[in-house]
Copies of this chain bind each other. A is one copy, B any other.
Amino acid sequence: MRVSVVGARGYVGGELVRLVLGHPELELVQATSRSCAGRPLGAVHPNLHHHSGVRFTAPEQLEPADAVLAAVPAGELAGVHQRLTSAARVVVDLSPDSRDPRTAPEPGYTLGMPELNRAALSGATRISVPGCMATAAVLALRPLVSAGLVDGEALVDARTGSSGAGTAPTTATHHPERQNALRVYRAAGHRHADEIARICGVRTRMTVTAVPLVRGVQAVVHARPPRPVSRAEVWDAYRACYAEEPFIRLVARRAGPHRLPDPQFLTGSNFADLGFDVDEDGARIVSVAALDNLMKGAAGGAVQSLNAASGIAERAGLEFPGLHAG
């Protein structure tokens, strides 16, 4: 399958290029970037320095391919949509534009989250990958919602590394300001809360904190069940949703320092780790999801969705498991 990456200069774009280049069933046609056209790939993404023959091409020179993976900035999808759909039969969009009915350039976008709608993805030609925080929160919430364990609304506490802010340097991401930050940059209200509510069918309140990491998102979801629950019931809810999922791991160890999902083990990986605990009185479930925001939360989710849509083995090209002491 011949694939181009549009918006290949950003961190998500760089991951898309890395995944396509390492994928046994995909072949890279082009990596486009307005600002870097003509430059070698490794000048922007030093980890890909050895692909010395690959250079960025201008977005206007997009050539025909089987699929396009598009990582354009928010608000720019509409302007390039015609070009993408002309170039390729399958468009996988990673911008927020296609996720929201109000900004989607056409109505037919399918949610790119195989755990929720694998059947609908099969054969899909317009795929919209959800945001990294929404992905984490939805994965954590969904088993609880499905099992009827959320009474009223849920509280989503999201923590995020700096790479989610993109490549444009700002004071907020200037190293001396960001290195040791615990920045509650969205205490109340959040556009992602709407996205989560839309996907999960449960109202959420959300707080987001920037933490001293480059990669990684962790969603800690606090939910109040309609009646006291046991740990076993919650395990059952998780297993009912995810027992067969290729990229979901259930993590709730009884001992050791690494009992609940921690994004440190997921850098570069497409796994999402999920776990939980329950207050002694059974009146609160704390559900924890961890993932790599640029992988399972973006580029990895896109390739997994493309695999699912195209009849390719879902794990193909996404085997890197992450590191210990990474």
Contacts and interface: CB of A to CB of B under 8 A. Distances in A.
Interface residues of A, number: 90
Contacts of A276: 187
A321 B22 contact: yes
A321 to B, nearest CB: 5
Given A169-B171, A320-B320, 11 more contacts: A22-B319, A46-B258, A47-B269, A49-B273, A163-B325, A173-B174, A177-B257, A179-B179, A179-B212, A188-B284, A294-B325
Interface string A154-192: 010101011101011111111111111111110111000
Most buried by B among A184, A185, A294, A325: A325
Interface in A277-302: 277-280, 284, 286, 288, 290, 294
Contacts of A260: 183-185, 187
B167 A47 contact: no
A41 B226 CA distance: 37
A262 B173 contact: no
Contacts of A277: 187-188
Interface in A238-254: 249, 251, 253
A263 interface: yes
A203 B185 CA distance: 27
B325 A262 contact: no
A267 interface: yes
A218 to B, nearest CB: 5
A181 B290 CA distance: 11
A47 B176 CA distance: 14
